[in-house]
A and B are shown apart, each in its own frame.
Chain A
Amino acid sequence: MKDTQAKKILLAHGGGGRLTNNLITNSILPKFSNEILAELEDAASLQLDSGSVCFTTDSYTVKPLFFNGGDIGKLAVCGTINDLAVAGAKPAALSFSLIIEEGFEIDVLDRILSSAAKASDQAEVPIVAGDTKVVEAGAADGIFINTAGVGTKLAGVNLSFGRIAPGDKIIINGSIGDHGMTIMSQREGIKFESQLKSDCASVAGLTCKILKTSAGVKFMRDPTRGGLAATLNEIANTSDCSVELCEADIPVNPTVQAAADMLGFDLLNVANEGKVVIVVDADAADDVLGICRGHPLGKRASIIGRIVESEDGPIVELITKIGGRRMVQMPYGRQLPRIC
């Protein structure tokens, strides 16, 4: 059988033989073209320009595979780049590994690979290694992707929970909940899903700019699964300080808020994919805010709260728009759509 005729992934595409080779040569390499990958060695050789290397990995299983504002390919590239970025690194290279279910449409795979390639080009972080496995129909949900990334620590940058102290300000680079509500609304099929758009993006350009310009940044984290609530609780618990958030200052898109209200979600718990939470010395807060607002991914950046002394143990507390106070807890698992 000629695989050039194949429209669907066959088990043989993962068997290590001619079909595997053709899939790599015809579908994957043209998308991710770069000199290092073209060598097709068992391991990529990289020239890194600093002694301190950051290394991370993440797996992507998002459903639906395509959503307004992105897809699993873009997400797999941006997500891992962002993990490096918030660690204070300049991302240098990625690996990109596929686990594909037998019968998966090759056209769909092409779209995912094109999107991943575009995200990698835009972020200027090449994909230099990869792997493809095919599993029997029913053994995976279409396609899963794993990416790993290496980056070099920016000179003089020291980000850690240990540096966080009362008085520090907390900045976010834009509106919260866009990614999670886009995915949820597409899953639930709510009527205004087309108005929602994931914020899926690589924030490395923004974080590198901030870190090169300001020495006042103490900690950064991308508030993905579990949203802002999970990130801030982690900051509070690990730094042994409390966090005071101001609801009125947290940027939210009205459509995202409406979708969250309709499905009964608290946006503080909803995932983001192009956001970064920055804990910064109070004296440097305005400078960092200015840098964010001058960047395409930070136009709606805002100082959303501050670090305070903890009284009876670290907590995250929200000052609501009407002046009330309430706790913001670590989200506790799966959220269920409400019924009325």
Chain B
Amino acid sequence: MLNRIYEAQRLMGAACEALGRQINIMEVCGTHTVSIFRNGIRTTLPERLKMLSGPGCPVCVTDQGYIDITLQLADRDDCIIATYGDMIRVPGKEGSLETRHKPNVKVVLSSEDALTLAKDNPEKTVVFIAVGFETTAPATAVAVAEAVQTGVDNFCVLSGHKLVVPAMEALLSEKNHKIDAFLCPGHVSVIIGSDAYIPVVERFRRPCVVAGFEPMQVIEGIGQICRQLAEKTAKVGSIYDAVVTPEGNTTAQRIISEYFQPVDGYWRGLGSIPNSTLKLKTKYSRFDALKRFGVDEVPGEDLSGCRCGEVLCGLIDPTECALFEAKCTPDGPVGPCMVSSEGACAAWYKYGRGQKRNS
């Protein structure tokens, strides 16, 4: 193991020397962010190699407007809100699902559990708060498919599912971005395949390397990126070959495209991104919570003073936000990056304070 670490570190050092400036690599996925902090990887990197935490935590990128709709629906006596745990603490304009103390808000671990809630409570409409990237979207689609087949009409989905590649392209389209390369998410790549990053590589000339979440994979992924940077090449790479194929999981892709279509969507901090959000297709619109309750999704205003948006774009470190640690902590989060355990601010707060280098 040590030899592999030394080799990766050699590649990192060589890239820093070859470029003669600070190198910024963005890890797109929240699970990578946590792995990097939990394993102290930042403390092992060269001084001039900086990891930026990107928009890969589904809770963090969910727009406040979406949160406000969940709060609005939670106020209805005829609804049960079925949500993943992290979402209950994200503050909207007026409180969060947790602070409202509504008995009709139920934490579920899967879309299947949400559907079961619907079957068990035929007198209520269960609204599944469907967030996540390409990893959770297939499961939502399967739940809708089952609802169709079994005739469960009191089930619907508030889809906030997001697509990773459009967000990467949006980040690189910003004039002031600082990103030299992407460490690409393992789980998402299992679904979309490593070929999905080819447009990023070809259009923006930025290396994209897929890695798993074990610390060695992260370190070797960074090493492989540095090799490309030193050689001034930009390719799609993977050190997660055992599970990630170029074409991805085509069955999962098929079920996503059967039930969902990509539309323009709001991302916290990044604004509206073309074709970046999954909405249910028209033929399944009776399962679409927005249509069922006649609600319009409007972009939320960012919370006062919260700089989560800039953190998600890699423009600032969490410590540069005046609220960090002072007014915004995991006990009393202001922004979503402090709520989710995979949020950059929460990871920084939990593991990063006291790390003297790269912080």
A residues with CB within 8 A of B = 188-190, 264, 266, 315, 317-327, 329, 332-333, 335-340
Interface residues of B in 133-170 (CB under 8 A from A): 133, 135-136
Beyond A332-B329, A333-B331, is A188–B39 a contact (Cβ under 8 Å)? no
State whether B44 touches A323 (Cβ < 8 A): yes
Total count of chain B residues near the partner, CB < 8 A: 43
CA distance A317 to B37 in the complex (A): 13
Closest Cβ–Cβ distance, residue A333 to chain B (whole Å): 6
Contacts of A318 on B, CB cut-off 8 Å? 40
State whether B342 touches A320 (Cβ < 8 A): no
Q: List 5 A-B contacts (CB under 8 A).
A: A329-B350, A329-B351, A336-B107, A338-B341, A339-B59
State whether A323 touches B88 (Cβ < 8 A): no
Contacts of B109 on A, CB cut-off 8 Å? 188-190, 337
State whether B85 touches A338 (Cβ < 8 A): yes
Which chain A residue shows the least CB distance to B4? A322
State whether A324 touches B85 (Cβ < 8 A): no
Q: Which of A322, A336, A338, A340 contacts B41 (CB 8 A)?
A: A322
Which 4 pairs from chain A and chain B are nearest by CB?
A324-B40, A339-B84, A336-B85, A326-B40
Contacts of B257 on A, CB cut-off 8 Å? none
CA distance A303 to B89 in the complex (A): 38
State whether A340 touches B58 (Cβ < 8 A): yes
Closest Cβ–Cβ distance, residue A149 to chain B (whole Å): 32
Contacts of A340 on B, CB cut-off 8 Å? 31, 58, 132-133, 135-136, 187
CA distance A188 to B355 in the complex (A): 34
Q: Which of A321, A324, A327, A338 contacts B354 (CB 8 A)?
A: A327
Closest Cβ–Cβ distance, residue B9 to chain A (whole Å): 10
B residues with CB within 8 A of A = 1, 5, 31, 37-44, 58-59, 84-89, 107, 109, 131-133, 135-136, 187, 215-216, 219, 329-331, 340-342, 349-355
Contacts of B1 on A, CB cut-off 8 Å? 322
Contacts of B187 on A, CB cut-off 8 Å? 340
Beyond A323-B5, A326-B38, A327-B355, is A339–B132 a contact (Cβ under 8 Å)? yes
Closest Cβ–Cβ distance, residue A311 to chain B (whole Å): 10
State whether B43 touches A325 (Cβ < 8 A): yes
Closest Cβ–Cβ distance, residue A132 to chain B (whole Å): 31
State whether A339 touches B87 (Cβ < 8 A): yes
Which chain A residue shows the least CB distance to B29? A340
State whether A339 touches B219 (Cβ < 8 A): no
Q: Which of B39, B84, B89 contacts A326 (CB 8 A)?
A: B39
Q: Which of A189, A322, A323, A332 contacts B330 (CB 8 A)?
A: A332
Q: Which of A188, A320, A332, A339 contacts B131 (CB 8 A)?
A: A339
Contacts of A321 on B, CB cut-off 8 Å? 39, 215
CA distance A147 to B160 in the complex (A): 48
Beyond A338-B342, A339-B86, is A322–B136 a contact (Cβ under 8 Å)? no
Contacts of B216 on A, CB cut-off 8 Å? 322
Contacts of A266 on B, CB cut-off 8 Å? 38
Closest Cβ–Cβ distance, residue B138 to chain A (whole Å): 12
